[in-house]
């Protein structure tokens, strides 16, 4: 190891707690989505940042939104259910308009999946962090490790990309 090289730390998490949270997320998803058994789910996080210049000092505020992301490979449907960090409350289901999606990409360095809407739709798209969190996380739901679920979702996204390419939409490079 050199002077400036950094050894990556292995993620520390409790396997039993992780499985408990996955079961709780499934229960919450079942409450919010009709025909929920046909969906595969995983945890996703979305962030927004707001920078404001002040008279004395500037402020930067970052907000974290936690979702249960459900997808159905049979018809390509994607649904988001917003949850709180403690997994006690959830919102109503928001079904993404899959007809408006024109581009799908994935950034493995940040574990972000991006579903981009067509121009003039009113929103850019959904940039979802589908990474893992350990037991000492400060920003996400602790103990949510989902390597198998993430790989299955990336397979779904690759299938979606091929459908979009067949429909004539140009796709960015795909890294996995």
Structural contact between residues 43 and 25, judged by C-beta atoms closer than 8 angstroms: yes
Structural contact between residues 108 and 50, judged by C-beta atoms closer than 8 angstroms: no
pLDDT in 10s for each residue of the chain, 176 residues: 556 666 667 788 889 999 999 999 999 999 999 999 999 999 999 988 888 887 788 888 888 899 999 999 999 999 999 999 999 999 999 999 999 999 999 999 989 999 999 988 888 889 999 999 988 888 788 999 999 999 999 999 999 999 999 999 999 888 87
Residues 6+ apart with CB under 8 A from 152: 40
Give the chain's largest Cα–Cα span: 55
What is the pTM (predicted TM-score) of this model?
0.87
Tell me the two tokens of residue 58: 């500037």
CA distance 87 to 102: 32
pLDDT reported for residue 113: 94
- 72 beta partners: 77
Across the beta sheet with 59-72, the strand order is 90-95, 77-83, 59-72, 40-52, 125-129, 112-117, 101-107
All domains in the chain, ordered by first residue? 34-166 (2.30.29)
pLDDT reported for residue 56: 80
CA distance 34 to 12: 35
Query: Measuring CA to CA, how many Å separate 40 from each of 55, 59, 127, 151, 153?
Result: 49, 39, 19, 12, 8
CA distance 137 to 162: 35
CA distance 171 to 84: 33
């Amino acid at each position: 190891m050199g002077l400036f090289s950094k050894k990556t730390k292995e993620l520390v998490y409790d396997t039993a707690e992780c499985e408990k949270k996955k079961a709780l997320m499934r229960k919450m998803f079942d409450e919010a989505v009709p025909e929920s058994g046909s969906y595969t789910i995983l945890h996703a996080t979305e962030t927004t940042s707001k920078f404001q210049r002040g008279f004395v000092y500037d402020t930067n505020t970052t907000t974290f939104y936690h979702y249960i992301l459900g997808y159905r490979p049979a018809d390509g449907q994607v649904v988001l259910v917003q949850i709180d960090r403690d997994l006690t409350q959830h919102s109503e289901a928001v079904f993404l308009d899959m007809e408006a999606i024109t581009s799908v990409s994935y950034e493995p360095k940040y574990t972000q999946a991006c579903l981009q809407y067509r121009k003039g739709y009113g929103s850019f798209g959904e940039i979802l962090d589908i990474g893992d969190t350990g037991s000492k996380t400060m920003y996400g739901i602790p103990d949510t490790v989902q390597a198998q679920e993430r790989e299955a979702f990336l397979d779904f996204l690759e299938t979606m990309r091929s459908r979009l390419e067949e429909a004539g939409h140009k796709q960015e490079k795909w890294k996995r």
